[in-house]
Structure 1
Amino acid sequence: MGMGVRRGTATMQGRSFIFVLVVLLAVATGVSGRTTYTGSSNTASASGARVTTPPATGKKQGHHDHLVKPKPQTKETNTKQVPALVVFGDSIVDPGNNNAIHTIIKANFPPYGHDFGADHRPTGRFCNGRIPTDFIASKLGLKQLLPAYLQQSPNLTTHDLLTGVSFASGGTGYDPLTAQLASVISMTDQLRMFHEYKAKVRALAGDAALSEILSKGVFAVCAGSDDVANTYFTMRARSSYSHADYASLIVSHAGAFLDGLLSAGAKRVAIISMPPIGCVPSQRTLSGGMARDCSSGHNEIAEMINAGMGTTVESLKAKHQGARVVLMDIYGYLFDMMMRPEGYGFKESTLGCCGTGMMEVSVLCNGVTSAVCGDVTDYLFWDSYHPTEKAYRILVDFVYDNYLKELID
């Protein structure tokens, strides 16, 4: 592949990661099943419907006690203001880059893609349908789907490149060790790929087009969850670090990545904050005890990282004069979705739709051992780690109305 991306045989750490997945599979298959349905659900009307939102108690607060009510959805586009959307991060925003590398962290097989397009095909998106960056690209008036930079079939077109791509790789994180453990594309390598992308844009459309993308495009970054859930807790690969120390390590690496992105010319950068990772189904199962409560340790680190990222963002804005950098705080809003799903049109928020809903994710969520729940639109989570298309649509409405508009106006 070039660009420093490691491919080929898995490292010893990569084999350790496979071992963990095998253990998780054993746990998952030992759990009693649920009533399941293997047909396709109709999400068109449900995912587009407006839902009841929590009462607002303040604007853009970080903790779940202070929530922001999204404004009514609008249909305007920002084609002239935003020429492209360029994305970095993990499986939340990976539209299929992992399809092109040697890793077991993939989602290019059923039942992934259960509700994607007319043919319900798996694309490598870790979801039943579209993912956040698809919705953002659509809201910006760019295109309905944001493609993977390493997309192989069909190959990327000039239009694809000029309107934006995603470099994200499922299983990666700010901590360099996280990408090594999963044998996926590190954040550092994603930045190298971005430099290659810039050269391609310059060759295709000239310096003026590249300058327009750098100055007016939106650059979105979403990572950190795999650092906490996988590297720190599940694999204990940073066991010598306290919660506070590991949070500081993540903030330091995130700051270095963002500094590199801004130094590469990006002027409008949006960073997705850490979610309440301790409340996703798999972490409830692994660390929530018999009652499958939220894991307080996971959430404690997440909130520490978010606090540190807030300080880092201010430092980056001071260093890179003229750049707009915003931390899109989703912690409180997503926590509320998890705690009172009925307010958002869901019936279940502690289990995923795939299989038992307790452990299945990536290779564990497959068409051989994992059936699909009866009505996907009832579920906040598609698998034990990733939200459904419906949940993503609601979450994107929130971040667009409360953060992205501010970034692009």
Structure 2
Amino acid sequence: MFPILAQSLIPLSLSLLMQICTPQAEVVVLQNATVSAVFTFGDSILDTGNNNHLITLVKSNFPPYGRHFMGGKPTGRFSNGMIPSDFFARQLGIKELLPAFLDPNLQLQALIGGINFASAGAGFDPLTSELVSVIPMSTQLRLFDEYKTKLKSSIGEERADSIVANGLYIVSAGSNDIAATYLHTPTRIFNYSIPSYTELLVRSASSFLQELHIKGARRIGVFSLSPLGCTPLQRTLASGIERRCAEDDNRMAQLFNSKLSLELHRLNGAFPHAKMALVDAYGLLLDIMKNPAAYGFEISDRGCCGSGLIETGFMCSQWDFLTCSNASGHVFWDAFHPTENAYRILVQGLLGKLLVDLYS
């Protein structure tokens, strides 16, 4: 991979650049594109350890999480190893890993090249973060302001502004809003229909993205929701003894995705000097779940930790001794979050189109 030094802004040119070839995808970075840093916001898909420093049950800084991370260390990533935040930074050659902003051991030099502000359990619905005491999306934006202040004090205002303006911003939220707040608590389902709740989420997402734009973001990729009904957890809770995909949950996710796609199109018209694009994870993840062997997996309907049917977070730690020995053969690490191997395939399969959408 051509090294893109985080300390400077290097144009990614087709005449210089590598092609990342995989069985799933070929990633090509476009001519004259510049990626200075990677910044991530949202939920557990992207949180590299911010929740370690909160008083919340939504944590994963204990075994068996991190079993296949560097040195087998649990870091607060909801997987057995790396997650999409890391893979985006690594695939672009910017950093090996994307650090968490709340890490008390974070060095000023680590601020260069980007950082993670996401918080596992967060959602576009403000109530979602409140229910589990994690960092709301609005607070993640305030942390971004703190980051910019620290960066300017470290490397100067002009260079810091350039890094912020040329960063790749990745946002992932909405899964907890539907899978937890709407479907499994009485807080929203009695006051909102499925169409009206997805509208609420899209309005909140739009407000977040507009604020992020005001703060300097110009290239933003927003993850679609995955097929929530095909996660091991939703199969167990919503599909009875046969544990088939809960299609009603999937339809709700698809409804949100379609509305979000339309809103991103509208925002692109409103902000002609910025680009926002959907990271369409739904189709690829559904194909992986339904055809695991085609991607090198053996099991897609249960997680690796515990029974694989319902365990996430601290529940995985209770059944550490039952954790599978072949995580690379599983699509899911716990009952809701994919394995490092699945995340790698996901990012490899989606990054190329995202770069075309944002930089062409």
Query: Taking structure 2 as the reference length, what is the TM-score of the superposition?
Result: 0.90
In 2, Cα distance between the equivalents of 1:147 and 1:79? 27
Q: Mapping of 1:5-404 within 5 angstroms? A: 50-51=22-23, 53=24, 70-71=25-26, 81-117=34-70, 119-152=71-104, 155-239=105-189, 240-366=191-317, 370-404=321-355
In 2, Cα distance between the equivalents of 1:347 and 1:203? 50
Amino acid at match of 2:58: I
Whether contact under 8 Å (1:109, 1:367) holds in the other structure is no
What is the CA distance between 1:368 and its match in structure 2?
5.0
State, as a whole percentage, how many aligned pairs show the same letter.
42
Give the secondary-structure state (helix, strand or coil) at the position aligned to 1:251.
Answer: helix
For residues 217-255 of structure 1, the C-alpha deviation after alignment (integer angstroms, 9 at most, x for no partner) is: 101101110000000111132122111111111111111
Give the secondary-structure state (helix, strand or coil) at the position aligned to 1:165.
Answer: strand
What is the CA distance between 1:158 and its match in structure 2?
2.3
In 2, Cα distance between the equivalents of 1:198 and 1:187? 17
Amino acid at match of 1:227: D
Aligned to 1:37: none
* Runs of 4+ with >6 A deviation: 76-80
What is the CA distance between 1:141 and its match in structure 2?
1.3
What is the CA distance between 1:355 and its match in structure 2?
0.6
Change (3 A) 1:371 1:50: farther
Change (3 A) 1:408 1:367: farther
Change (3 A) 1:206 1:83: same
Amino acid at match of 1:140: L
Aligned to 1:56: none
In 1, Cα distance between the equivalents of 2:244 and 2:32? 44
Change (3 A) 1:370 1:285: farther
For residues 82-113 of structure 1, the C-alpha deviation after alignment (integer angstroms, 9 at most, x for no partner) is: 11111101001100000011101100000000
Unmatched tracts of structure 1, length 5 or more: 1-47, 54-69
Change (3 A) 1:147 1:78: farther
In 2, Cα distance between the equivalents of 1:295 and 1:113? 29
In 1, Cα distance between the equivalents of 2:21 and 2:181? 37
Asked which structure has the greater RCO (Cα within 8 Å, sep 6+), the reply is: 1
Q: How many residues align?
A: 340
Whether contact under 8 Å (2:47, 2:77) holds in the other structure is yes
Give the secondary-structure state (helix, strand or coil) at the position aligned to 2:115.
Answer: coil
In 1, Cα distance between the equivalents of 2:129 and 2:156? 34
Amino acid at match of 1:214: V
Change (3 A) 1:163 1:398: same
In 1, Cα distance between the equivalents of 2:178 and 2:321? 26
In 1, Cα distance between the equivalents of 2:244 and 2:336? 15
What is the CA distance between 1:214 and its match in structure 2?
2.4
What is the CA distance between 1:407 and its match in structure 2?
2.2
In 2, Cα distance between the equivalents of 1:195 and 1:306? 28
Unmatched tracts of structure 2, length 5 or more: 1-19
Whether contact under 8 Å (2:63, 2:320) holds in the other structure is no
Bigger mean CA deviation after superposition, 142-151 or 294-303:
294-303
Alignment RMSD (CA, Å): 2.0
Give the secondary-structure state (helix, strand or coil) at the position aligned to 1:93.
Answer: coil
In 2, Cα distance between the equivalents of 1:132 and 1:299? 22
Query: Taking structure 1 as the reference length, what is the TM-score of the superposition?
Result: 0.80
